[in-house]
Amino acid sequence: MTDSEMDDVKMMQAEGDLDTFIMLAAFYNVNPDGKIIEAVKNIEPGDIDDEELKSALEKIVSYAEKTDPENEESLIEMKRDWTRLFRGVTPDYGPKPPYEQLHTASAGLDLLSVLAKIYVDNGYDGYEALGNRHDYLGVELDFLTALSGKRVEALGKNDEEEYDKYTVILEEFIDGHIAPWFPSFYEGAMKEAETDFYKGVLELTRLIFEK
């Protein structure tokens, strides 16, 4: 493989990572609406070689294809599931929600300070627009989206040093702040999920961070 071909492969993989984190962040941050349904319908699981990933995506897409994006009534079941799984409305309604501090032994303020420094050091302030805590999974996924975008930009400038820098930060963040606790959330959430859509989302997330 030539250097040019290797660069093309690296860019394709980096863009694939960016698309993946954009999608996952949306699933956790956005109360499902017609736009989400329409976007999901454009996903083509058949293009994916990994059978487990394909199966998870097929579950999500299949549910979306049966849902009318313009009919609010058809979205109610999804909205209830999203709220039950991700918002932590009350202790007896749904699983322990996906906040890192709730699934680890880390002291809350210390963890939030650590995350705040990581975000500031990397020019990320997306949590402000999302209106959620630094340790919410959706915010952490949005941060990974930002890092992935920086990796793509670095490759576009042929800046290997910057690409490597953000690759290390991305991998260390996943290893330190998502991979250790997501299985705990996943186990509880899968028992509570009622729609195939969010069962697929949970399975897809697990698979992404296992690979």
**Per-residue confidence band for 88, with pLDDT thresholds at 50, 70 and 90:** confident
Residues 205/186, Cβ–Cβ less than 8 Å:
yes
On average, the pLDDT of the chain sits at: 92
**Per-residue confidence band for 108, with pLDDT thresholds at 50, 70 and 90:** low
Phi, psi of 96 (to 5 degrees): -60, 120
- CA–CA distance, 201 with 35 (Å, rounded to integer): 17
Residues 92/189, Cβ–Cβ less than 8 Å:
no
Residues 93/82, Cβ–Cβ less than 8 Å:
no
pLDDT number for residue 69 = 87
**Per-residue confidence band for 27, with pLDDT thresholds at 50, 70 and 90:** very high
User: ∠ CA 193-111-142 to the nearest 5 degrees?
Assistant: 55
pLDDT for 7 beyond 80: no
Q: What is the pLDDT of residues 33-80, one digit of tens each?
A: 999 999 999 999 988 889 999 999 999 999 999 999 888 888 999 999
